[in-house]
Amino acid sequence: MAPFSLMSVGANLLVKSLSLFSSASVVRCSCVAPVIKSFSTTTGGPPKRPLTAYMTYVKEMQPTFSRQNPGLKNVDVIRKLAEKWRMLTLEQKQPFQDASLVSREQYKLALETYKAQLTPAQTAAIAEEKRQRVAKRKAIRRKKELNSLGKPKRPRSAFNIFMAEHFEEAKGTTMQAKLKSLRDDWMRFNNTQKQIYTQLAEDDKVRYKNEIKSWEEHMIEIGREDLVRRKERRAIKAKTVHDRKKKSKVTVMKAKAPKKKAIVAGTAVKKTVKSTKK
């Protein structure tokens, strides 16, 4: 069985996507509708996604089940229905599968109709929104991955360090106001006043250079060359190939030596040879 939290997330999603209950929580949820929906309100909106067999089942059973179990929370109603659904035989599920198939066909048609009536500008805007969503998701995934691989933080600029140090006491109440006053201060600074921060930034550059070097070497070791800067990739590769060649020469030489020994040992005169050699 799925862990409790996962189950309730699923149930909440279902409550949302089926608009089963008209409780405050559902109303609140609707304000985080995807961008694409807010855009398309002007055109009547894209068709609703088709219901799966399970969703069809829940939608059909929920009103009666809720009535029979007053006091049960929405999420728990869904959870109970999910349990019931799992207990159904394939045969019992069949009508809902059929309904889902019909729903999917209807959706396909409705989507085609919807797409056909969009202006080229709207189509382009929707495609752009989608592209941005995908890119954002990808960037988040990449950032998470780099974090988990312990990628060193980029070096901070002198202004960055100054800002971080003086943000608290900066003039202004809003974040923007504080940033602006800090930027103005920075612009007024002469080189002597900036000196301490430029020095710290130089140090941070050295820190980054060292950290990123060993990190990239490690990435190549574990087969993640794709995460290494292109220029470095070539340099590190050349170096490892060179090292490997050196290493393989050594092993060839080492491999030859015991062979000789083995032959010698095979002739059973090992001891004599050894002693004469010494």
Q: Is 192 in the site for ligand NAG (CB under 6 A)?
A: yes
> Which of 22, 192 has the CB closer to ligand NAG?
192
- The rounded Cα 150 to chain-centroid distance in angstroms is 15
**The one segment of 175-183, 186-194, 247-255, 256-264 that binds ligand NAG by CB under 6 A:** 186-194
Which residue in 152, 157, 151, 147 sits closest to 203, CA to CA?
157
Place of tokens 């599968």: 97
- Of these, 193, 214, 267, 272, which contacts ligand NAG (CB under 6 A)? 193
Residues 228, 219: contact at Cβ < 8 Å?
yes
**The one segment of 57-65, 96-104, 170-178, 187-195 that binds ligand NAG by CB under 6 A:** 187-195
Least Å from the CB of residue 191 to ligand NAG: 6
C-alpha–C-alpha distance, residues 65 and 244, integer Å: 69
Q: Euclidean distance between the first and final Cα of the chain, in Å? A: 73
Residue 198-227 contact track with ligand NAG, rule CB under 6 A, x = bound: ------------------------------
C-alpha–C-alpha distance, residues 44 and 113, integer Å: 12
**The one segment of 45-53, 118-126, 189-197, 234-242 that binds ligand NAG by CB under 6 A:** 189-197
Which residue in 87, 103, 110 sits closest to 17, CA to CA?
103
- Of these, 148, 190, 251, 275, which contacts ligand NAG (CB under 6 A)? 190
C-alpha–C-alpha distance, residues 109 and 194, integer Å: 65
Q: Is 176 in the site for ligand NAG (CB under 6 A)?
A: no
Q: Is 188 in the site for ligand NAG (CB under 6 A)?
A: no
Q: Which residues bind ligand NAG (CB under 6 A)?
A: 190, 192-193
